[in-house]
Structure 1
Amino acid sequence: MATTSTRAPAGRTFFGHPWGLATLFFTEMWERFSFYGMRGILVLFLIAPPSQSGLGLAEGTAKALLGVYMAMVYFAALPGGWLADRILGARRTVLAGCVVIMCGHLSMAVPAGAGAVYLGLALIILGSGLLKPNISTMVGRLYSQEDDARRDSAFSLFYLGVNIGALAPFVVGYLGENINWHLGFGAAAAGMALGLTQYVLGARHLRGVGDQPGHRLTPDERRRLARAAGGVLAAAVPAVAVAAVALGGITVDHVTVALTVLAVAVPVAYFAYLFRSHEVTAEERTRLRAYVWLFAAAALFWMIYDQAAGPLNIFAERSVDLTVFGWRMPASWTQNINPIMIICLSGFFAWLWLRLGDRVTIPQKFAFGLVMCGLSFVVMSMAAHAAAGGVRVSLLWLVAVYLLQTVGELALSPVGLSVTVKLAPRAFVGQLLGVWFLAVACGDAVGGQVARLQDVWGGVRYFLLLGAVTVAAGAAMFAFARTLGRLAGQGGDREPRTAAVP
């Protein structure tokens, strides 16, 4: 494995880091530009009538589709990480991911009907699974094992690129809403093309990092894998055909429900496997029980948090006064509030957690994050009440909602991978790091289905009930924080000082 030394690198640097970090920084920034830009207008495009060049989907179907799309982006990180580690190596896997993502956005940029849109979403999911887990791995491998301080600094810079890229709705949203939806999707494709171009041109600065798989498959393993893949395919095709006949045809709703079940079933099955594994000791099993509760709390958090791109985006478009000095800004621009707040508040929270030190435990941070996220939906219920009867409310309502969610995110999100490493059984640390992202997938998928209830309950009741449940869950976690701490074997906690938009 090629790495730099623990000393500052000689020659050209990127804020004192190896220039290879610049290659990965801008690749991730443009990939996030394409992801968040397209996400910012996706649900608005899905529910827009065909007369406005939209797909004209029912609102509940559109929100469910958005939820499972975001869920599958994180779900695909598991096979993507495995492919890099066992077959292609991280560098080539990221390259393939860039190409596939760009093709996905190009497919959506072509006004060729629903088929092109669904193909585009599938390609973006596949490409994101190839890119997302492996580009972060390459950042870490630019440094030696002992160079923890500079590696932490590098990830801080890297995550700054994530949040800069997340401001994409300023461009993609304006083009999509004000000119043409497909032009907006085309802008996302152009952003990914820029990321791909500079990744190819800057590959030489990576100094061999990620060129080789960490644990390449043996010829015998390759043969077994091919047989297993053939068996799964042979079983899947008739199963889909039988389902189509039984259901009278497969609809978008059927697909979203099936993928939601998958997003929930996989982590449940994996945790069941861990608890039964002979490689997990009794002490590790105790810590694993604590981790399951933290995993469930994270899934609940993301279920609420990631509804920003669906119900909250639709609320902004229909019920918020977006007029500024006589000009109406695109509704998707409200999706920029969170990354702007992340950039502004990350430094303060890094100082705060350092100041508080061991006095605040990981379960307490998770509980605080849940309470803040739940309160954001309580505020949303008040905004929905104020907007009753077609009244357009102040943008400050959404600013308050996103402020609460950002505060919650900065408490919960940065410690997720840290607590995973801390509590994972020794034989399963690498696998559990991948499973952590399934908390996001599970929350997003369930959130997409839960969002259908808004059509039945109405906005006020929907936001209030979900907010109350989440606040109650956070309060319960506060009450049992000491117990969870004992199960986790915590004497004190020191977490990373960086935060990222996932």
Structure 2
Amino acid sequence: MAEAVATPSHEADVSRALRRQTSFLGHPKAVGSLSFMVLCNSFANYGMSAILVYYLYAQIPTGLGLTQAEAAQLVSLYSACTVLTGLIGSYVADRVLGPRRALTIARSIQALAFTLLAIPFLGIFGYAASQVLLCIGTMAAGRSQDALTKKMYDLDDPRCDGAFGLQYVINNIGAAVPALVGTVALVSGYHVAFALPAALQIAGVVVYVLTQESYFGPIGLEPDDPMTPAAKRTFLIGLAAAVAAAIALGSWAFISGTVTISVFANAVSTVAIFVPLFYLAYIIKSKKNTREESRHVMSIVPLFLCTAVTNVVFQQAMGVLSIYSETTVDRMLFGIEVTPAIFSTLGAVFSIVFGSICTLLWTKLKRQPTAAAKVGFGSMIYGIAPLFMCLPFLLYPVGVKVSPLWIIGFWFIAMLGEAIGCPVGYSASAKVAPAAFSTQMITVWALTGSFGGGMATIMVNFYHEGSEVPYFMLLGGICIVISLAVLVFSRQLERGMGFASADE
């Protein structure tokens, strides 16, 4: 008997049936598979990040014996590099691999990277290889996971916001891992602790690979804007050569002392401010888009700025308030002084609680606020958080220990705002993405973090001890003003993004 050949009509029917599934908390089964991968990837990254800096400056043979300054710079350098390699990865997913293949390759490479850290005798070479592989993994996929999540819903399916909210909650669950991994590192050593992230990442890849055919069908298998075979071959050869040359040149520059880690990290961070702006302009002006697609992207720019400003607030508040938590907050609990890091853990707990509530609302509510209104309202609440922190600086003189409720209150307000707006922003960016830029558009949205971090680096020049009140008022005020503008024009923005009809 001749083997059945899948026709476009048959594939469309299969895709439609898969998108209508409600097996995973009211969502398609594929979203469940992706959510498990998010959980494993979150555990792996949080677990590695929790102990990596300590491993780098711990004395040999326990660690690598670097200075604390070198360790901190290397961790920052990794973060800066993943910002830019992620954009390349989204281009690769859109034009070469397709999001499903890109995600399989990327997570497999990253699992290998975590495994290298768990092997004791590799030393500094194992560390360097792991960081390079983690960046290559990012370069292979970018934001393919988010793009694939979006593909599991029709454009008018209200569950899409709920799916991104669900993955936001799951990603924040990873914040609980540092306590476990840190304890293992203390008891059994760093390499045993690194084995936990490696095992979790492998588990996520295995489940995803085993469920691909039955859960995803034809969805996300092919790139949205494929190159010709000849162009693909030329691109891959060129990319491989460029990566090899960059690794060789970077190794020579650092070993010879021509470039310091600090200088390179600062340069990459500065570039990260402008990359999302230039790339947004490139997407809007691309001839691959229809006029309507370009209009949709232009309409999301105010939401991009809104989210970028909240990231400025986050970066600046984290720096100032981390010091404040250590030096000024009363951290005695039942006679024991707790670490100031516990407050950021509380922030993750609030993210999980509020994110779960918002996910339920966006999944179940029939009549909802617009995406622009959600982002604007969430960002406005976020802007209230630094204004709230002006109060202890006004009420208490220097040197007085203050209640931890002030810091807890800050995280309560900020994470409520983030839970309302952040996942919806990712969902909106996925929906407005032109066909040729489905994954790249989500990566550009993710770069609101790099934009905010870069702007925060510039704004810190205006901060000095004693200027906390005007400084926080400025940050909160800017955030609230931009958020109010988005709220006022939310209906127009919604129509511009193509989420509402002209008569709404």
Task: Give the TM-score normalised by structure 2.
Answer: 0.73
**Residues 91-240 of structure 1 correspond to what in structure 2 (within 5 A)?**
91-109=100-118, 116-128=126-138, 130=140, 133-142=143-152, 145=154, 148=157, 154-176=163-185, 180=189, 183-203=192-212, 205-209=214-218, 212-215=221-224, 216-226=226-236, 229=239
Match of residue 42 from structure 2: 32
Are residues 290 and 141 of structure 1, via their aligned partners in 2, closer, same or farther at CA, if it must alter by over 3 Å? Answer: closer
Q: Separation in 1 of the partners of 2:57 and 2:323?
A: 9
Give 1:6 deviation, angstroms.
6.3
Give 1:30 deviation, angstroms.
1.0
Give 1:405 deviation, angstroms.
1.6
Are residues 34 and 20 of structure 1, via their aligned partners in 2, closer, same or farther at CA, if it must alter by over 3 Å? Answer: same
Contact 1:98 1:192 in 2 (8 A): yes
2:345 aligned residue (336, 344, 352): 336
Q: Separation in 1 of the partners of 2:327 and 2:222?
A: 49
Are residues 172 and 440 of structure 1, via their aligned partners in 2, closer, same or farther at CA, if it must alter by over 3 Å? Answer: same
Alignment deviations for residues 12-60 of structure 1 (CA, whole Å, 9 cap, x no partner): x5446554444322221011111223334556666778899574333xx
Contact 2:73 2:261 in 1 (8 A): no
Give 1:260 deviation, angstroms.
1.0
* Structure 1 residue matching 2:472: 3-state secondary structure: helix
Q: Separation in 1 of the partners of 2:304 and 2:481?
A: 15
Deviates more, 1:328-337 or 1:188-197: 328-337
Match of residue 372 from structure 1: 384
Give 1:438 deviation, angstroms.
1.7
Q: Separation in 2 of the partners of 1:193 and 1:251?
A: 34
* Structure 1 residue matching 2:17: 3-state secondary structure: coil
Match of residue 400 from structure 1: 409
User: 2:451 corresponds to which letter in structure 1?
Assistant: C
Contact 2:84 2:272 in 1 (8 A): yes
Match of residue 15 from structure 2: 3
Are residues 233 and 337 of structure 1, via their aligned partners in 2, closer, same or farther at CA, if it must alter by over 3 Å? Answer: closer
Give 1:236 deviation, angstroms.
6.0
* Structure 2 residue matching 1:249: 3-state secondary structure: coil
Q: Separation in 2 of the partners of 1:412 and 1:82?
A: 26
Do structure 1's residue 467 and structure 2's residue 472 form an aligned pair?
A: yes
Alignment deviations for residues 341-396 of structure 1 (CA, whole Å, 9 cap, x no partner): 1232235556889688369836742650451353366479689x88x76x876543
2:279 aligned residue (270, 281, 289): 270
Are residues 99 and 284 of structure 1, via their aligned partners in 2, closer, same or farther at CA, if it must alter by over 3 Å? Answer: closer
User: 1:136 corresponds to which letter in structure 2?
Assistant: D
Contact 1:298 1:439 in 2 (8 A): yes
User: 1:444 corresponds to which letter in structure 2?
Assistant: G
Match of residue 5 from structure 2: none
Contact 1:363 1:484 in 2 (8 A): no
Q: Separation in 2 of the partners of 1:201 and 1:348?
A: 31
Alignment deviations for residues 99-123 of structure 1 (CA, whole Å, 9 cap, x no partner): 2223333444457666654543443
Match of residue 499 from structure 1: none
Do structure 1's residue 477 and structure 2's residue 482 form an aligned pair?
A: yes
Q: Separation in 1 of the partners of 2:20 and 2:370?
A: 31
Alignment deviations for residues 250-300 of structure 1 (CA, whole Å, 9 cap, x no partner): 111112112112212322322444566667899988876664443233223
Give 1:220 deviation, angstroms.
2.6
Q: Separation in 1 of the partners of 2:227 and 2:360?
A: 44
Give 1:476 deviation, angstroms.
3.0
User: 2:386 corresponds to which letter in structure 1?
Assistant: G
Q: Separation in 2 of the partners of 1:392 and 1:180?
A: 36
Alignment deviations for residues 166-217 of structure 1 (CA, whole Å, 9 cap, x no partner): 3222312444567755554443333323323433444454354567323443
**Residues 58-69 of structure 1 correspond to what in structure 2 (within 5 A)?**
58=69, 66=75, 69=78
Q: Separation in 1 of the partners of 2:308 and 2:377?
A: 15
Are residues 415 and 71 of structure 1, via their aligned partners in 2, closer, same or farther at CA, if it must alter by over 3 Å? Answer: farther
Are residues 213 and 275 of structure 1, via their aligned partners in 2, closer, same or farther at CA, if it must alter by over 3 Å? Answer: closer
Match of residue 57 from structure 1: 68
Question: Which stretches in structure 1 are left out of the alignment for 5+ residues?
Answer: 496-502
Q: Separation in 2 of the partners of 1:466 and 1:154?
A: 36
Deviates more, 1:113-122 or 1:167-176: 113-122
1:261 aligned residue (258, 264, 270): 270
User: 1:413 corresponds to which letter in structure 2?
Assistant: C
Are residues 231 and 177 of structure 1, via their aligned partners in 2, closer, same or farther at CA, if it must alter by over 3 Å? Answer: closer
Are residues 104 and 442 of structure 1, via their aligned partners in 2, closer, same or farther at CA, if it must alter by over 3 Å? Answer: farther
* Structure 2 residue matching 1:148: 3-state secondary structure: coil
Do structure 1's residue 439 and structure 2's residue 448 form an aligned pair?
A: yes
Contact 1:358 1:493 in 2 (8 A): no
* Structure 2 residue matching 1:76: 3-state secondary structure: helix
Question: Which stretches in structure 2 are left out of the alignment for 5+ residues?
Answer: 1-10
User: 1:171 corresponds to which letter in structure 2?
Assistant: L
Do structure 1's residue 86 and structure 2's residue 91 form an aligned pair?
A: no
Q: Separation in 2 of the partners of 1:293 and 1:64?
A: 33
Q: Separation in 2 of the partners of 1:328 and 1:338?
A: 19
Cα root mean square deviation, aligned? 4.9
Percent identity, aligned pairs only, is 26
Are residues 424 and 200 of structure 1, via their aligned partners in 2, closer, same or farther at CA, if it must alter by over 3 Å? Answer: closer
Are residues 29 and 231 of structure 1, via their aligned partners in 2, closer, same or farther at CA, if it must alter by over 3 Å? Answer: closer
Q: Separation in 1 of the partners of 2:437 and 2:315?
A: 28
Contact 2:43 2:200 in 1 (8 A): yes
User: 2:113 corresponds to which letter in structure 1?
Assistant: G
Q: How many residues align?
A: 482
* Structure 2 residue matching 1:442: 3-state secondary structure: helix
Contact 2:102 2:141 in 1 (8 A): yes
Q: Separation in 2 of the partners of 1:381 and 1:66?
A: 32
Match of residue 346 from structure 1: 355
Q: Separation in 1 of the partners of 2:68 and 2:459?
A: 14
* Structure 2 residue matching 1:167: 3-state secondary structure: helix
